[in-house]
């Protein structure tokens, strides 16, 4: 929900875009009372999974291979599945923009966009580690065993560490949000935007990049350079790893929120069918043409 809160409060979205976003999301809110508005809808895709709807499960991630150089896997890792988070965002954008799409379809796909833009900025939603230990990949850190230092949360696998922001957000807020929870999210988002403003020279160019494949590659690089430096159990993860991870998570929340806001502004203000189609085709072409097997990240683990 923090990514959506950053998007909403970033100042990038016009009042008209915010109004359109909220109205379309509300179209199916009577069926999903936990997620009546944009912020809560960031959890909607996970709500579907918790209710047993797994047909979109692969849409939450893209397993871009990262290979060990010291204990390489016995065979070349496969390329990511075709239906993945990059594909899902571009397909959803096309539906929401489409003049012939129904309001029901637009509401569903807009909710997916809000969630999946957050997902693709979580480094371990864009990676799978391949080695002798993990010949079929570690499923984005889900199979990577870890031991945490003393911390306000517990898990024994790496993916959950990063889903929790390395311990920055460990408690689920009840939805629909009450005034106290709304204020908490607004304040948290404000502190993240203050630390990582959209005007930052290292962030501003990222906001202008609408190619979702690039977003995934960027997250994959963070997985290789930061996330997968975690020692495996029984060696405990050092506090310095948690501290660095929290900083990166806040940066990714900020960048993801700014990109989400820019994407929604594009969807609701672009009047050219041709340009909207070009945007989608550019992202899909980059995804299909990426030589994952040749361009795998390699790590010494």
Residue 280: burial class (beta carbons within 10 Å; 0-12, 13-18, 19+): middle
Q: What is the largest CA-CA distance in the chain?
A: 56
Report the pLDDT value the prediction gives residue 269, as an integer from 0 to 100: 87
Helix H or strand E segment including 130: strand 128-130
Q: Are strands 65-68 and 297-299 parallel, antiparallel or unpaired?
A: parallel
Q: What is the pLDDT of residue 172?
A: 80
Core vs surface per residue 209-243: b (16+ CB within 10 A) or e: eebbbebbbbbbbbbbebbbbbeeeeeebeeebbe
**pLDDT digits over 214-266, tens only?**
999 999 999 999 999 999 999 999 999 999 999 999 999 999 999 999 999 99
Domains of the chain: 2-299 (1.10.575.10)
Pairing of strands 65-68, 128-130: parallel
Omega cis (within 30) before 176? yes
- On the question of a cis peptide bond just before residue 128, with omega within 30 degrees of 0, the verdict is no
SS3 203: coil
Strands of 128-130's sheet, edge to edge? Answer: 128-130, 65-68, 297-299
SS3 157: strand
User: What tokens appear for 148 in the block?
Assistant: 């945490």
Q: What is the pTM of this model?
A: 0.90
pLDDT of res. 299: 53
Report the C-alpha dihedral over residues 282, 193, 20, 25, rounded to 10 degrees: 90
DSSP string over 256-270: HHHHHHHHHHHHHH-
Per-residue DSSP letter, 236? B
Residue of 122, 54, 112 whose CA lies nearest to 87: 112
pLDDT tens-place string over residues 59-90: 999 999 999 989 999 999 998 989 999 999 99
| Low-confidence residues of the chain: pLDDT under 50 | 293-298, 300-301
Q: What percent of the chain has pLDDT over 70?
A: 89
């Amino acid at each position: 929900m923090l990514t959506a809160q950053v998007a909403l409060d970033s100042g990038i979205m016009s009042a008209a875009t915010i109004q359109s976003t909220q109205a379309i999301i509300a179209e199916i809110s009577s069926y999903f009372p936990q997620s009546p508005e944009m912020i809560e809808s960031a959890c909607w895709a996970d709500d579907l999974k918790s209710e047993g709807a797994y047909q979109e499960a692969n849409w939450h991630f893209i397993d871009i291979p990262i290979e060990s150089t010291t204990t390489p896997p016995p065979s070349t890792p496969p390329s990511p599945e075709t239906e993945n988070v990059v594909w899902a965002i571009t397909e959803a954008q096309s539906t929401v923009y489409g003049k012939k799409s129904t309001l029901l379809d637009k509401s569903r796909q807009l909710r997916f966009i809000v969630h999946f833009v957050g997902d693709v900025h979580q480094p371990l939603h864009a990676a799978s580690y391949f080695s002798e230990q993990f010949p079929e990949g570690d499923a984005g850190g889900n199979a990577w065993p870890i031991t945490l230092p003393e911390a306000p949360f517990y898990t024994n696998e790496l993916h959950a560490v990063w889903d929790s922001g390395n311990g920055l957000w460990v408690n689920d807020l009840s939805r629909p949000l009450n005034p106290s929870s709304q204020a908490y999210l607004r304040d948290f988002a404000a502190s993240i935007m203050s630390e990582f403003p959209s005007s930052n020279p290292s962030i501003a160019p990222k906001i202008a990049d609408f190619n979702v494949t690039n977003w995934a590659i960027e997250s994959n690089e963070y997985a290789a350079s930061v996330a997968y430096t975690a020692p495996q159990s029984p060696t405990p993860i050092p506090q310095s790893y948690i501290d660095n991870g929290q900083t990166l998570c806040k940066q990714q929340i900020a960048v993801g929120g700014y990109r989400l806001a820019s994407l929604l502004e594009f969807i609701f203000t672009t009047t050219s069918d041709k340009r909207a189609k070009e945007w989608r085709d550019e992202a899909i072409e980059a995804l299909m043409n990426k030589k994952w097997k040749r361009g795998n990240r390699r790590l010494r683990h």
